[in-house]
Amino acid sequence: MWGDTRGVSSVVATVLLVAVVVVIAAVVGTYALELGDEQAASPPVTVSHTTVPDGSEETIAVTLSAGEAVETDKLYVIASADVDIGGAPGSTTPADESYASGLEKFTESSGGNPPQIGIGDTWEAGETIYLDPVGSVDGVTVSIYWNTEPVEGVNPGSVEGDDAYKIAEFTVNTD
């Protein structure tokens, strides 16, 4: 009778060991997958910039040179000088430094009108936005941010959540 029970203990031990390993693997896997879901990847983009005449001053023209189309309601600009975002000088909704602020959202509009930049719901390769800084454009550093949530409010708007990523930065040098 004792000869029949010796094999059972090694089988039970093996089953318990496998069960413990499966439970540990499930916990670690779940934790790792949750971390991956929480972090959204910012869109890879390349921008170029130039200056364009705007009366007696200049305005910064920023073009999305390459990359994926980016939802405009998740984009905003911060610069080393207050700036206003808008359409090209001479357009119906040009950027105007008298409306400049420290943060400008891409979907800025007033009075229920369409967004001033006039590029639609996404910023696509080849499209240009215009930034009019207070004072000279020379030496102004511009940073463009993408947020995982839409930028809320109106001129200039507010960023909700902690998931903002700088997707482009440059300094204007007119020399």
Q: If we measure between CA atoms, which residue out of 8, 56, 23, 57 comes closest to residue 172?
A: 57
Residue 32 banded pLDDT, cuts 50, 70, 90: confident
Per the structure, how many domains does the chain have?
2
- The one-character DSSP state at 107 is T
Residues 61, 133, single domain; the answer is yes
In this prediction, what percent of the chain has a pLDDT beyond 90? 43
Residues 25, 81, single domain; the answer is no
In this prediction, what percent of the chain has a pLDDT beyond 70? 87
21: domain range? Answer: 1-39
Mean per-residue pLDDT over the chain, rounded: 85
What pTM was estimated for this model as a whole? 0.74
Residue 60, pLDDT > 60, answer yes
Residue type, 122: T
Average pLDDT score over residue span 88-95: 89
Q: What is the pLDDT of residue 7?
A: 62
Residues 72, 121, single domain; the answer is yes
Residues 100, 167, single domain; the answer is yes
Average pLDDT score over residue span 37-45: 72
In sequence order, the 6+-apart residues with CB closer than 8 A to the CB of 105 are 73, 75, 76, 77, 85, 151, 156, 157
Q: If we measure between CA atoms, which residue out of 142, 136, 134, 91 comes closest to residue 115?
A: 91
Average pLDDT score over residue span 64-87: 92
Residues 106, 23, single domain; the answer is no
Average pLDDT score over residue span 145-164: 78
Residues 67, 110, single domain; the answer is yes
Residues 62, 141, single domain; the answer is yes
Residues 81, 10, single domain; the answer is no
